[in-house]
Amino acid sequence: MAWTRKVLRVDLTNGTCKSEPLNMEWAQQYLGQRGLATKYFVSEVDPKVDPLSPANKLIMTTGPLTGTPASTGGRYSVVTKGALTGAIACSNSGGYFGAELKFAGWDMIIFEGKSPKPVYLSIENDKAELKCAAHLWGKTTWVTEETIKKTHQDPQVRVCSIGRAGENGVLYACIVNDLHRAAGRSGVGTVMGSKNLKAVAVRGTTGAGQIKDPKAFMAATAAGKKVLAENAVTGQGLPTYGTQVLMNVINEMGALPTRNHRDVQFEDARKISAEAMHEKRPTDGKTHLVTNAACFGCTIACGRISRIDETHFSVVNKPEYWGASGGLEYEAAWALGAANGVGDLEALQYANLICNEDGFDPISFGATVGAAMELYDLGILKASDIGMEAPFGSAKALCELARMTAVGEGFGKELGIGSARLCEKHGKPELSMGVKKQEFPAYDSRGIQGMGLAYATSNRGACHLRGYTVASEVLGIPVKTDPLVTEGKAGLVKAFQDATAVFDSSGLCIFTSFAWSLADIQPQIDAACEGDWTMEKLNEVGERIWNLERQFNLAAGFTAKDDDLPPRLKTEPAKTGPAKGLVNGIDKMRPEYYAERGWDANGKPTGETLKRLGL
């Protein structure tokens, strides 16, 4: 269905669940999911709030196309003030949880306060209640999901939960649903843990409805699916090779951050690539990759399901990890691999399994290990500090540190604070590779200039999913631009950011944008949703959302100084590849971007811009 027009408000402090009508005026201005939940959030929460205090709120939210027959219409997002960043956080996940929440009849759940003891929220259609989670506290996400399904005697209950990382205050903890999908970034799971909220279990049987024009909607979604099927990327490339196919591409382009961004090319990139996942292992004759997988309603199916080598040192005598499970995706493979100089595919899969099992972001974790390895290399951290030798390239250190971080043991506690705080603590803040205390993803902005601006200005800290100019600068989608120049990147970044905000607010997956433009989703939204959803309106909604998030961050205390990159990327030129000799031109692009956005020299939206957007 499109909007269910119902919000579930859960007061964790007092243990109450209350239904209230969705603000339909806001729905017309912000569409749903990321945009609409952010509007609720900024309207109810003090921007200066401590992210881990009861006064912070956490919203789980669907889009109007979540749960519908639209391809990839299974997304949900978690909006809060990020534990890692202190900025607005919006983490998006696939799987089946979002659609189930919609089937139960809810557009969003607003959690407020803090429960005096561990609880989980149980939803069955209209019925919502908080239940004791004492028996689940201390358990992994995998055990939590299984236990809840057994308790409810219903294998079709959909569960999202935090693992031990979220309980232990790892600042980049995720919320994991359907075993290996996650609202992954910015520490949304840490906020959930701070509220003593272990999980949400939902079962919905109300089905789809409230589509404005069902006939037009089915025609529009069928047309959209045809485009996805006939497109070489979404119809063949992504289902066959997954996101991991980028490993060799980005390495050849000299934009694969390696050993904490000391290098831009990794000598073992091929060993951890999509191509390697398709090869038979000498140990057991099996391929690492078992199959691809799809989230709810998805006709792309980019997900990877793999089986680890049972003879690998990380899982010897650990049969619980021998089954087929999620991974590796490109970002995780990069962060756990190239970022640390580790070229052992099985070790990466093990670390990735631990991240899924106990719910923490492999990007921030891997990048933090990379920073720790550099501190070790410089002699600032000793083996006695870490509990082991931890040189770049050590697969054993990576695997052991993943386990220690999951359970909050020894140096794992320090890794759990993220690279910014870790490097600050050891007197080397410049060695943290991130923006707004969130670690970079898998693209070095010396080799892909536009991504430097996208990272610096991302409202949730360094992130590739707020403005993925890689599509244009590397892949030629929708048009090819030169990755090595700064010219034209301000407008490109703004266009990607605004369009992404619309995709993220619709209930659809951003990966459709490799084949679809806004013009492909506009007829789907317009047929499903009350109101007149023109291209002009959608473009305005995207820009409005971006500025709303910006306003929250400014009120939270962020300034133009935070729209910046670490000194390494501005002063240490790339050593090899096409970008050899180049640094990122952020200082040139930033003022151009501010002008493009209608912001003043300090990065604040002008009165005219705010008025134009109705803010």
The secondary structure element, H or E, covering residue 540 is helix 535-556
Is residue 77 at the binding interface for another protein, with CB under 8 A as the rule? no
Phi, psi of 223 (to 5 degrees): -65, -40
Strand boundaries in 392-490, DSSP class E = 434-435, 438-439
H-helix or E-strand spanning residue 288: none
Please say whether the dihedral angle defined by the alpha carbons of residues 401, 404, 410 and 411, taken in this order, is positive or negative. Answer: positive
Q: Which is nearer to another protein, 217 or 241 (CB)?
A: 241
3-state DSSP of 100-138: HHHHCCCCEEEEECCCCCCEEEEEECCEEEEEECCCCCC
327 is an interface residue for another protein by CB under 8 A: no
By CB under 8 A, residue 465 contacts another protein: yes
Contact status: 236 vs another protein (CB under 8 A) = yes
Which CB, 181 or 537, lies closer to another protein? 181
Q: Which of 142, 511, 516, 594 binds another protein (CB under 8 A)?
A: 511
49 is a contact residue toward another protein (CB under 8 A): no
What does the alpha-carbon distance between residue 543 and residue 190 come to, in Å, rounded to a whole number? 29
Q: Is 610 in the site for another protein (CB under 8 A)?
A: no
Q: What are phi and psi of 159, to 5 degrees?
A: -125, 135
What SS3 class is residue 168?
coil
The verdict on 328 binding another protein (CB under 8 A) reads no
Element (H, E) at 354: helix 345-358
510 is a contact residue toward another protein (CB under 8 A):
yes
CB-nearer residue toward another protein: 79 or 277: 277
DSSP 574: B
Q: Contacting another protein (CB under 8 A), which of 233, 351, 398, 415?
A: 233
Decide whether 158 or 180 has the Cβ nearer to another protein.
Answer: 180
Using CB under 8 A, which of the segments 81-89, 250-258, 403-411, 539-547 binds another protein? 250-258
* Contacts of another protein in 548-577 (CB under 8 A): 577
Least distance between another protein and beta carbon 577 (Å) = 5
301 scored as a contact of another protein (CB under 8 A): no
- Answer yes or no whether residue 83 interacts with another protein by CB under 8 A: no
Q: Compute the distance between CA of residue 386 and CA of residue 41 in angstroms, rounded to an integer.
A: 39
**Contacts with another protein in 147-206 (CB under 8 A)?**
none
Does 536 contact another protein by CB under 8 A?
no
Binding flag, residue 491, another protein (CB under 8 A): no
Taking CB under 8 A as the binding criterion, the range among 35-43, 113-121, 193-201, 477-485 that sits at the site for another protein is: 477-485
Instruction: Compute the least distance from the CB of residue 316 to another protein, in Å.
Output: 26
Tell which one of 55, 216, 475, 615 touches another protein (CB under 8 A).
475
3-class state of residue 585 by DSSP? coil
Residue with tokens 């978690």: 78
Containing 408, the helix (H) or strand (E) segment is none
Region 260-299 residues binding another protein, contact defined as CB under 8 A: 270, 274-275, 279
Structure tokens at 36: 């609409």
For residues 86 and 303, which CB has a smaller minimum distance to another protein in the complex? 303
Is the CB of 204 or the CB of 254 nearer to another protein?
Answer: 254
Nearer to another protein, 243 or 349 (CB): 243
Residue 396 three-state SS:
helix
- Shortest gap between Cβ of 426 and another protein (angstroms)? 32
Minimum CB distance to another protein smaller for 63 or for 577: 577
Q: In this structure, what is the dihedral angle of CA atoms 256, 261, 267, 270, given to the nearest 10 degrees?
A: -30
Which one, 405 or 469, has the nearer CB to another protein?
Answer: 469
Q: Hey, is 157 helix, strand or coil?
A: coil
Hey, what are 262's tokens? 């000391």
Q: Is 252 in the site for another protein (CB under 8 A)?
A: yes
DSSP one-letter string for 324-352: -EE---HHHHHHHTGGGT---HHHHHHHH
Q: Which is nearer to another protein, 77 or 234 (CB)?
A: 234
**Of 478, 422, 464, 507, nearest to 108 (Cα)?**
507
Cβ nearer to another protein, comparing 34 with 164: 34
Q: Residue 97, interface with another protein (CB under 8 A)?
A: no
Sheet containing strand 175-177, strands side by side:
127-132, 119-124, 197-203, 158-161, 175-177, 181-183
**Strand, coil or helix: what is 4?**
coil
**In degrees to the nearest 10, what's the CA dihedral of 449, 453, 459, 462?**
40
Give the Cα separation of 40 and 26 in Å (integer): 9
Least distance CB 380 / another protein (angstroms):
33
Beta bridge partner(s), residue 173: 360
* 468 makes contact with another protein (CB under 8 A): yes
90 strand-pairing partners: 79
- Determine which residue in the list 476, 491, 531, 557 makes contact with another protein, applying CB under 8 A: 476
CB closer to another protein, 504 vs 564: 504
User: Is 411 a binder of another protein (CB under 8 A)?
Assistant: no
Shortest gap between Cβ of 496 and another protein (angstroms)?
A: 12
**Span 330-369, contacts to another protein by CB under 8 A:** 330-331
> Cβ neighbours of residue 541 under 8 Å, at least 6 residues apart?
29, 30, 31, 35, 501, 502, 505
Name the minimum Å distance from CB 485 to another protein: 12
Residues forming the site for another protein (CB under 8 A): 231-234, 236-238, 240-246, 248-249, 252-254, 270, 274-275, 279, 330-331, 464-465, 468, 470-471, 474-477, 480, 482, 510-511, 514, 577-578
